[in-house]
Amino acid sequence: MSSFVSISRFLLENWLNTSLRTFSKNRYAHTDLPKVSFQEYRRKSLRNSNVSTRRSFDERTVANHVMSFVAGVAGLYGFKSHLLHYIESMAPARNLIAEAQVEIKLQNINVGKVSIFKWRGKPIFVYHRPQSIIEQERQTDVTKLRDPETDEQRVKRPEWLVMIGICTHLGCIPIPNSGIIHGGFYCPCHGSHFDGAGRIRKGPAPTNLEIPEYRFLDDSTILIG
């Protein structure tokens, strides 16, 4: 009998120990997991949850403002460079700029002769007029001319006539000292005749030969342009 009691007590104690160990185990629900913290990724000014974000607003946005300012300056600089490049692309070629002004020496042009120079791709007639041509052109009745201009209006010094040597009809180059007018110019393309002051006297040309902008640097030098 005592043996039976001993075996029963052993089994009961063993069962109780096993049951107590089983029920004492920690059993976690999914809500018991530790919360993930992102504090190390937060800005220092935002790590304290007890402080209002309004207090640190200026501190947090100053970096953004600085970056925006730097980006804006860089954008303006790039736009300026692009704009200057675009403007320079529309500028005349360097060879044309170099020819914007032409200095002409007059001492080698004999009386009665016409020398031809190049200015901005155009021929320039420099006519050293004799006194007879000067008097002839100043006696002309301008009221009978197609494009009325006095001789005094077309020259700065009586003995020197400076003109662009392109016919005002269709752009041909007239021939000096030829045509129906003594000491004048004749266009061989369509028969326009110009006098010794470059004024149209006969033919289809509608206006006188053009006078470029020029000035005398001294008695023997002119600057065109």
| Cα–Cα distance list, 137 to 27, 77, 85, 143, 166 (Å) | 125, 60, 51, 13, 20
Length of the chain: 225
Which of the residues are catalytic? Answer: 190
Burial 13-32 (b: 16+ CB within 10 A, else e): eeeeeeeeeeeeeeeeeeee
Is 70:62 a contact under the CB 8 Å cutoff?
Answer: no
> Judging by beta carbons within 10 Å of its beta carbon (0-12, 13-18, 19+), is residue 99 exposed, middle or buried?
middle
CA–CA distance, 167 with 185 (Å, rounded to integer): 10
123 sits in which H/E element: strand 122-128
Which residues on neighbouring strands pair with residue 214, listed in sequence order?
Answer: 224
